[in-house]
Amino acid sequence: MLAENHRALLLPEIAARYEAERAEIENTVDVEVISAVALDPAQQDKLDRALSGRLKRRVRMHNTVDASLMGGAVVGAGDLVIDGSIKGRLEQLATELSG
C-alpha cells in the first residue's frame, strides 16, 4: 500500500515507531554494549541484571567488540550513554588537562 501511494520512503520511520511502541508495551529496552574484549556469559548476565535494575525494564543486549577502547566498555540505551572505557577516561583526562 505504501508503494502504491508513493510513500515507501516512510517505511523506515514507520518501522522505528512500531519498534518503539512494541518496546514500550513489552517493557523492554535495546542496549548497545561496546567492549574492548568479548564479554563472557557471566559478565553479560551481571551487566544485564545491573542495567535492568537501573532502567526498570527488561534489557535486550547487543554486544560488539572494539579493541580501540583498550579496556572497559561503552553502554548505550536510548539517550543514556555510560562510557566506562579506558579510551574515554583518557580523553576526559586530556580535556581536563588542556582546559
Q: Is residue 48 part of a domain?
A: yes
Q: Is residue 14 part of a domain?
A: no
pLDDT at 64 over 80: yes
Q: Which domain holds residue 58?
A: 28-98
> Average of pLDDT values for 65-86?
95
pLDDT classification of 78: cutoffs 50, 70, 90: confident
Q: Is residue 22 part of a domain?
A: no
Q: Is residue 19 part of a domain?
A: no
pLDDT at 20 over 90: no
What span, in angstroms and rounded, lies between the C-alpha atoms of 48 and 3? 40
CATH of the domain at 79: 3.40.30
| Tally of domains within the chain | 1
Give the residue with greater pLDDT, 75 vs 78: 75
Q: Is residue 21 part of a domain?
A: no
> Average model confidence (pLDDT) for the chain?
93
Q: Is residue 61 part of a domain?
A: yes
Over 25-88, what HEC string results? HHCEEEEEEEECCCCCHHHHHHHHHHHHHHHCCEEEEEEEECHHHCCCEEEEECCEEEECCHHH
Give the residue with greater pLDDT, 20 vs 43: 43
pLDDT of 33-60, one tens digit each?
999 999 999 999 999 999 999 999 999 9
> Average of pLDDT values for 18-29?
91
